[in-house]
Structure 1
Amino acid sequence: MIPNSWHTYDQYGYALVAIVGTFAAVAIIQWAIQHSRWAEWARTLHGVAPPFINIIGVLFGLTLAFLANDTWSAHDRAMQAVYKEADALQSIHTLSNKLPYTLQTQTRDALLSYARAIAEEWPQLARRHQSREVRQRADTLMSLLSSDEMAKAAGSNVQSLMLHKASELRDERNQRVGLSQTHVNPLKWLGMAFLGLLTLMSVAVVHVDNPRAAFVAIMLFALAAAPTAAIVLIQGNPFQEPTAVTAAPIERVILDITPH
């Protein structure tokens, strides 16, 4: 059970590692330049030009920015997929209003079954799972929309448009499921952590002759870098808190479609 939980919510663990690791590095570096047996040797490194920090700092900042962009881009794509699904559901419902009563009722019921299955799948997405029922409901809806009876009642143009919207439903749902499987890439974050450590060390070397100034400088960098990295990490999965994408657009469509 524990391994599964870790695999599901690994980004929270990595966020904790980022914070603890950063401040542990600060403590070790400060000890090394003040109290360790290498402190005297470290002071001989005085003379490194302060602009040198910019080189490594820029690399660190760019790496973190790229990782943050990937995270927020995934969140935006998940949100967009939900709204496209809601629009496709509403479009099929609107197109079915001109059908004969029996076929219209069958289409509405199939849409409602599919939409409700999607909404009920949401908690599973947060656990990186998916529902088989959604796929079954999608097959039922697609079979109904592609039937000869639908072609005769709706006409080829309307049927083609309804099938197109049903295909959109599948595509956007597959995108959601794919995004819900997003995990932290350890290699990317290991590279960023390495650059962060180098930045801390370069700041310490620049101020090595003044331990108090060195401590203030590396602590300020740590206070900026560690929480930022943690915020990016905990938002790694768009269907998990604290900024989870919700099923609200689809739930509103369900209320519109449900007969009163």
Structure 2
Amino acid sequence: MTMAAHNGFLERNGVQAKLLTALRQLSVLQPEDPITFLCTHFESLVTPASEPSQACVELLRDADAINPEQLDSAVYKAFRMLQGTNITSDVLAGRVEGVAVNTILTELCVNLDPVLSASLLGKLKVSPEALHSFPTFSSILTPRLKLQAYLKMARQVFESIDVHQTGSIQGEMGEELLSRLNGSIASTSAEMNAAVVMSPSDVTTILQRSGPSSGGTMTLTEFKTAAGQIFINHIPMRV
């Protein structure tokens, strides 16, 4: 087979364009693991197009929000899936419909505490009629995924103090609980730490909302709701 025939085959099947797009995005984003990035990119090109929103939800639910590389890769792949399998343009220049973004966000909030769900949706939902870029897509869904990891850490810390599994702790243990949670957060990635570590004023707010400072008890649900709201309050406002 001649070189012209080889080139013709590549051109007819859009291979050259897809390779150039992948390399361009690799150069712009410069991920720590280029091979994993390229694998994720090409996997997104062959994902079935049926029900892309649901496929995105399933992908994002399995993402490890503590691992920045895995989280970024999952969000990137979800964006590509939502764009469609025939996209050849640069993902950074691409757009997805706001209604689809809101659908994914809402579905990811189904199992969240109703108070936190309403607060998060109120802060992150976008205009359904508009088209949104990858940075916007990431800024909406990444906080939701990090919140899930944060609440998981909150549960683990709570259970480490509630050794008898009563479902509540005494008021005097409130500050110890929050100190342990901050320590747990600090041991994770820098991105997670910067996003959710609590200040002294945050600690005071949680203690006041949950009532332990008055000598009462704090339940796991109360603690997770109060701490989750602090997390949501720290999510930067989109402009």
Query: Do they fold alike, i.e. is TM over 0.5?
Result: no
Structure 2 length-normalised TM: 0.22
Q: Return the TM-score normalized by structure 1.
A: 0.21
Q: Which has the larger radius of gyration?
A: 1
Q: Kindly indicate which of the two structures has a greater share of residues assigned to helix.
A: 1
Query: Larger % of strand: which?
Result: 2
> Higher relative contact order at CA 8 Å, sep ≥6: structure 1 or structure 2?
1
